[in-house]
Amino acid sequence: MENQLGLDLKYEGQAVATYGTPLIIRFAVDAAIKQLAAKGRPFTSDEVRAGLGFFAESPNVSRVIGACMTAAAKRKEIFTDGSTVIAGRKEAHARRILVWRQTV
């Protein structure tokens, strides 16, 4: 039950961040995900953020990236097998982040 509560809170936070964020930022995140996936190699949310230019500093952008990646996975555009790497951004404090791939 705890895991479901955690997931519910995660998705709620993503929804709040996403719907409170200008469409242009959400479109930029979606475009970055599609560009990385199209390269045919594994990628992470750090790489998505790196492709956002000045949008990377927008409020709640981490949640928006998470929400957009979750949505892309639900649309079967990308997937993860659970592999992780250590985040490269100092703000992430070396936490583990998922590795994503384009769905074939």
For residue 42, give the CATH number of its domain.
1.10.10
pLDDT, tens digit (0-9, with 9 covering 90-100), for 25-40 = 999 999 999 999 999 9
Q: How many domains does the chain have?
A: 1
State yes or no: pLDDT of 23 exceeds 80. yes
Amino acid symbol at 54 = F
For residues 7-36, give the mean pLDDT.
84
Q: Which tens digit of pLDDT belongs to each residue from 53-84? A: 999 998 889 889 999 999 999 999 999 999 99
- Which residue range forms the structural domain that includes residue 34? 2-102
Q: If you average pLDDT over every residue of the chain, what do you get?
A: 89
Does the pTM surpass 0.85? The reply is no
Burial tier of 81 (Cβ tally within 10 Å: 0-12, 13-18, 19+): exposed
Q: Read off φ and ψ for residue 41, nearest 5 degrees.
A: -125, 160
Measured CA to CA in angstroms, residue 66 lies from 1, 93, 100 at distances of 22, 17, 12
